[in-house]
Structure 1
Amino acid sequence: MKLGSLKHGRDGRLVVVSRDLARCVEATGIAPSLLIALEDWRRTEPLLRALADDLEHDRADGVMEFNPANAAAPLPRTWEFLDGSAYLPHVERVRAARGATVPESFYDDPLMYQATASGFMGPRDAVPVADESYGIDFESEVVVVTGDVPMGATVDEAAAAIRLVGLVNDVSLRNLIPGELAKGFGFLQSKPRSALSPVFVTPDELGGYWRDTVLHRPLLSTLNGEAFGHPDAGTDMQFNFARLVEHAARTRPLAAGTLVGSGTIANQDTGVGASCLAEKRMLEIIADGKPVTPFMRFGDSIRIEMLDDDGDSIFGAIEQVIEKYEH
Structure 2
Amino acid sequence: MRLASLNQGRDGRLVLVDAARATMVRARAATTLQAALDDWDRLAPLLGAEQALLDAGRAEGAEPFRAQDCAAPLPRAYQWADGSAYVTHVELVRRARGAEMPPSFWTDPLMYQGGSDGFLAPCADIPAGDPAWGLDFEAEVAVITGDVPLGATVAQAAAAIRLVMLVNDVSLRDLIPHELAKGFGFFQSKPASAAAPIALTPDELGPAWDGERLHGPVLSSLNGHLFGRPDAGVDMVFSFPQLIAHAARTRALCTGSIVGSGTVANRHGDPAVSGIEAGGVGSSCIAERRMLEVLAHGAPRTPFLGAGDHVRIEMLDARGRSLFGAIDQCVRASAATDTQYRVQGRTA
TM-score bracket, normalised by the shorter chain, equals over 0.9
- Deviations 1:167-216 (Å, cap 9, x if unpaired)? 00000011111100000000000000000001000001100000141001
Deviation at 1:326, TM superposition (A): 4.8
- Give the 3 Å change call, closer, same or farther, for CA 326–53 of structure 1 in structure 2: closer
CA distance in 2, matches of 1:11, 1:124: 17
Match of 1:325 among 303, 314, 335: 335
Q: Where do residues 233-272 of structure 1 align in structure 2 (5 Å cutoff)?
A: 233-269=232-268, 270=274, 271-272=280-281
SS in 1 for 2:48: helix
Task: Map 1:57-76; keep pairs closer than 5 Å.
Answer: 57-76=56-75
- Say if 2:279 is the partner of 1:279: no
Partner of 2:204: 205
SS at match of 1:25: strand
Aligned length: 326
User: What does 1:99-118 align with in structure 2 at a 5 Å threshold?
Assistant: 99-118=98-117
**Partners in 2 of 1:268 and 1:316 — Cα distance?**
27
Matching residue's letter, 2:121: G
Distance 2:326 2:131 in 1: 24
1:48 is matched with which residue? 47
- Report how far residue 227 of structure 1 moved: 0.6
Alignment of 1:124-139 (within 5 A): 124-139=123-138
Gaps of 5+ in 1: none
**In structure 2, what is the equivalent of residue 300 of structure 1?**
309
Give, in whole Å, the separation in 2 of the partners of 1:130 and 1:103.
Answer: 34
Structure 2: runs of 5+ lacking an equivalent: 269-273, 275-279, 338-348
- 2:219 matched residue in structure 1: 220
TM-score normalised by length of structure 2: 0.92
Which secondary structure does the structure 2 equivalent of 1:285 belong to? helix
Distance 2:306 2:256 in 1: 33
The DSSP-based 3-state class of the residue aligned with 1:227 is: strand
Runs of 4+ in structure 1 over 3 Å off: none
SS at match of 1:175: coil
Q: Deviations over 1:29-74 (max 9, x none)?
A: 3112101110110111001100000000011110000100011111
State the one-letter code of the partner of 1:87. Answer: Y
SS, match of residue 272 in structure 1: coil
Distance across 2 between alignment mates of 1:136 and 1:19: 34
Q: 1:310 aligns with which of 306, 319, 326?
A: 319
Moved more, 124-133 or 60-69: 124-133
SS of residue paired to 1:50? helix
Q: Which residue of 1 aligns with 2:161?
A: 162
Which residue identity does 1:200 align to in structure 2? A
Instruction: Decide whether the 8 Å contact of 2:91 with 2:101 is kept in 1.
Output: yes
C-alpha distance after superposition, 1:101-121 (max 9, x if no partner): 211101000000000100001
The CA distance in 2 between the partners of 1:326 and 1:93, in whole Å, is 35
Match of 1:93 in 2: 92
Please say if 1:37 is aligned against 2:36: yes
- For 1:228 and 1:281, the matched residues in 2 are separated by 12
Partner of 1:289: 298
Report if aligned partners of 1:130, 1:326 keep a CA contact under 8 Å in 2. Answer: no
Q: One-letter code of the match for 2:149?
A: P
**Root-mean-square deviation over aligned CA pairs:** 0.8
Identical pairs, percent: 58
